[in-house]
Amino acid sequence: MSLRGDVCVVTGACGFLGHRLVRLLLEDEEMAEIRLLDKHVQPEFLSALQDCRGDTKLTVFEGDLRDGDLVSKACRGASLVFHIASLIDVKNSVEYSELYGVNVTGTQLLLEACIQENVASFIYTSTIEVMGPNPRGEPIINGSEDTAYESSLKFAYSRTKKEAEHRALQANGEVLQNGGRLATCALRPMYIYGEGCRFLLGHMSDGMRNGNVLFRMSLREARVNPVYVGNVAVAHLQAARSLKDPQKRNAVGGNFYFISDDTPHVSYFDFNHVMMEPLGFSIQEKLPMPLHLLYVVSFFLEILSLMLRPLVRVTPPLNRHLLTMLNTPFSFSYQRAKRDLGYKPRHSWEESRKRTIEWLTAELPKQRQQIRAK
């Protein structure tokens, strides 16, 4: 099912995944219009899309997701929304009200705008963190959408993403102003890597400051399955095609799907090494101290930050939730997405790794220069 002639809205269009999806839509589909909804849209971003733009109209909507009028204008006359934008916070450094406002309230406003403006399809970009791992660090290996797991989410980012996903899926089947019905689904990608991944850049900078030795905060056996950004974009395209297809729409609507690919299962920090070893980086053999002691240190850092909170907000470099996430085997299969959405990875592991390493190689001198400047 083609999206030819459709008008779609992409929130977070200038971000890591949003940029990749917009380019894919321009290359693979002859859409009438793509509306770029983001806080800031630089002219350089639009210029970079000229080589694949074709006859598709690109319209910019700059502003905040919590601006109901802006969201309504962006959705007016559209048939499809890709809701990618969110605040990502793995260190508990963002106020809860800010996270909730963007991740939950922003999603709710978008859903309400879809109903009022007769948008037929809504795809929510969720995250593996709505599943866990839970505070007990209970592992999942090659899990599926049917895997039973007690999440017990305590981290603010995970909770807000979970609530936003729930609202998106609950809106499936809502009656539109024109009498039609809204179809929604959610995609839960694993840790996304590739060109533009700020987490990889951060780890590379830390490694440079440590004499080109990457830090280790993950046990080797805590294997996860990262996913390449280009394949996550393909999954979004396939989800949109499925929601438009009358034969698939009811089966897909209201469901969530794990999105992974054929990237080898490896711990988070060993993955950093896989990507940066060709650039001359090594990695620490062991954690800086036994894992149980790291939990104790993290606990006291959290207590200290809470004591200082009335005076100043201090974000500890490590917290127990992040430590659990980094040291829990947690991997999921994409077979349900393959069956229902027709998703299959377009980019092989070899290609994904090659592209990511080439990008990191190009970024290396810039990172060195920034470190010297500090």
Angle of CA points 254, 80, 102, to nearest 5°? 75
Instruction: Tell me the C-alpha distance between 284 and 202, whole Å.
Output: 17
Region class of 54: left (phi > 0), else alpha (psi between -120 and 50), else beta:
left
Distances (CA, A) of 116 to 80, 119, 175, 292: 13, 8, 9, 52
Place of tokens 């936003």: 164
Residue 108's H or E segment, with its range, is helix 106-117
Instruction: Tell me the C-alpha distance between 332 and 244, whole Å.
Output: 26
Asked if 63 and 102 touch (Cβ cutoff 8 Å), the reply is: no
Residue among 154, 164, 39 nearest 105 (CA): 164
Residue among 13, 7, 248, 242 nearest 123 (CA): 242
Q: Hey, which bits of the chain come out as E strands?
A: 7-11, 33-38, 57-62, 80-83, 121-125, 140-143, 183-189, 192-193, 213-214, 227-228, 256-259, 282-283, 330-332
Residue 304's H or E segment, with its range, is helix 291-308
Asked if 279 and 364 touch (Cβ cutoff 8 Å), the reply is: yes
Catalytic residue among 100, 124, 157, 334: 157
157 catalytically annotated: yes
Q: Residue 304 has which token pair?
A: 């200290």
Distances (CA, A) of 162 to 1, 19, 126, 151, 155: 30, 24, 8, 10, 11
Active site residues: 157
